Amino acid sequence: MSHARAAHLTRRGILAAGGALGLGAVLAACGDDDSGSEGSSKETTAAKSGPWTFKDDRGTTVKLDEVPTKIVAFVGVAAALHDYGIEVKGVFGPTKTKDGKADVQAGDMDVSKLTVFGNVWDQFNVEQYAAFAPEVLITTTFDSAGTLWYVPAASASKIAKLAPSVAVSVYDRQITTPLQRVWELAESLGADMTAAKVTDAKKRFEAASERLRTAAKAHPDIKVLAGSAAQDVFYVSGTNLSIDLEYFKALGVNFVEPPASALKASGGWYESLSWENVDKYAADIIMMDDRTATIQPADITEATWKKLPAVKAGQVISRSPEPIPSYDKCVAMVENLAKAIETAKKVS
């Protein structure tokens, strides 16, 4: 897809384009009404054995006779649960790179020990999933309708019949909300949330956030652009729907913000630019999508990219548009942006 067009957007197309990928541009077309009610710790039954209940962000309550152990999860959620001591044995979504190594979204999991039902978009082996005999499927959702992320639409009904599902919303909210929800989910599954590793990670995230707030306040003139690269298109993200950008903006980061009219074609997620127009917005720091389906900065050969002031100044950092929702994994991304702002030269 070399040019984004509202009438022809599909979820597969968004991923193929690379620019929004997990940002769910198409899913936003389902509407702006965030009608799904979020669960809370009061609605979650935490136990290591016995009945299990969890109310997800769609307002759906899943009840099982026992705490599930045969869990299948979107890889990023599985990686977050792994950080809390809950081992997920079956995953779907970007898990392994072409050389068999762990994808960036797999976190610290040993991918060689995982059963992967689908490693790329629109791939999900239903027969293998059925044979696995899952007790629950856990993933995220990028729209107000609660569409299950990375569950193919064509086989969604078959998958739904095999096990109940839990969805954590990562749509139009700050990252602290899904972080808390996954915390509650892990606790309900039997994780020890008082363990030093867990509580220390939360403290480090809070410290990193305060560092970023301080840096943004001290350098209000530093402009940050969130971008993503595909073969024919450069995408500039808006900040109003992404959980990381909404949080950074709340901490005071000065983002380049495409006008609403430019974001409209993608449902509010991003603006598509040709490489000839990649210099449309002036920026001092560029945050680039780190997912494997996108072109990474070192591999961009476009002359217009290399001429950008932020690129020439070496002020390009990575961004995780689909951050692993555990406090431990979110520390680095907050610290990296704080450091970049603290040390950036004004080049725009």
Question: Kindly report the CA angle at 247 between 204 and 4, in degrees rounded to 5?
Answer: 130
H or E segment to which residue 208 belongs: helix 196-218
Per-residue model confidence (pLDDT) at position 79: 98
Tokens 């991923």 map to which residue?
Answer: 15
Per-residue model confidence (pLDDT) at position 48: 61
User: Between 28 and 169, where is the model more confident?
Assistant: 169
pLDDT, averaged across the chain: 89
Residue 84 pLDDT grade (very low, low, confident, very high; cuts 50, 70, 90) = very high
pTM score over 0.85: yes
Is the pLDDT at 25 greater than 50? The verdict is no
pLDDT digits (tens, 9 = 90+) for 231-258: 999 999 999 999 999 999 999 999 999 9
Q: Phi then psi for 186, rounded to 5 degrees?
A: -60, -40
* Mean pLDDT along residues 311-315: 98
On whether the CB atoms of residues 126 and 63 are closer than 8 A, the answer is: no
Is the pLDDT at 140 greater than 90? The verdict is yes
Residue 193 exposed, middle or buried by CB count within 10 Å (0-12, 13-18, 19+)? middle
Which residue, among 223, 255, 229, has the nearest Cα to 242 in the 3D structure? 255
Residue 9 pLDDT grade (very low, low, confident, very high; cuts 50, 70, 90) = very low
Per-residue model confidence (pLDDT) at position 325: 98
Residue 345 pLDDT grade (very low, low, confident, very high; cuts 50, 70, 90) = very high
* Mean pLDDT along residues 94-105: 96
Q: Phi then psi for 108, rounded to 5 degrees?
A: -95, 10
User: Between 289 and 37, where is the model more confident?
Assistant: 289
Which residue, among 278, 277, 258, has the nearest Cα to 269 in the 3D structure? 258
Is the pLDDT at 281 greater than 90? The verdict is yes
Q: Is the dihedral of CA 229, 314, 308, 319 positive or negative?
A: positive
Residue 7 pLDDT grade (very low, low, confident, very high; cuts 50, 70, 90) = very low
Distance (Å, whole) CA 81 – CA 67 = 14
Is the pLDDT at 163 greater than 90? The verdict is yes
The count of other CB atoms within 10 Å of the CB of residue 53 is: 16
User: Between 15 and 99, where is the model more confident?
Assistant: 99
Percent of the chain with pLDDT over 90: 86
Per-residue model confidence (pLDDT) at position 208: 98
Is the pLDDT at 227 greater than 80? The verdict is yes
* Mean pLDDT along residues 313-337: 98
Q: Phi then psi for 291, rounded to 5 degrees?
A: -75, 150
Is the pLDDT at 139 greater than 60? The verdict is yes
Is the pLDDT at 13 greater than 60? The verdict is no
Distance (Å, whole) CA 177 – CA 164 = 23
Distance (Å, whole) CA 108 – CA 31 = 35
* Mean pLDDT along residues 175-183: 98
Is the pLDDT at 151 greater than 50? The verdict is yes
pLDDT digits (tens, 9 = 90+) for 38-82: 444 444 444 467 899 999 999 999 999 999 999 999 999 999 999
Per-residue model confidence (pLDDT) at position 50: 86
The two beta strands, 223-229 and 233-237, are antiparallel
Distance (Å, whole) CA 209 – CA 215 = 10
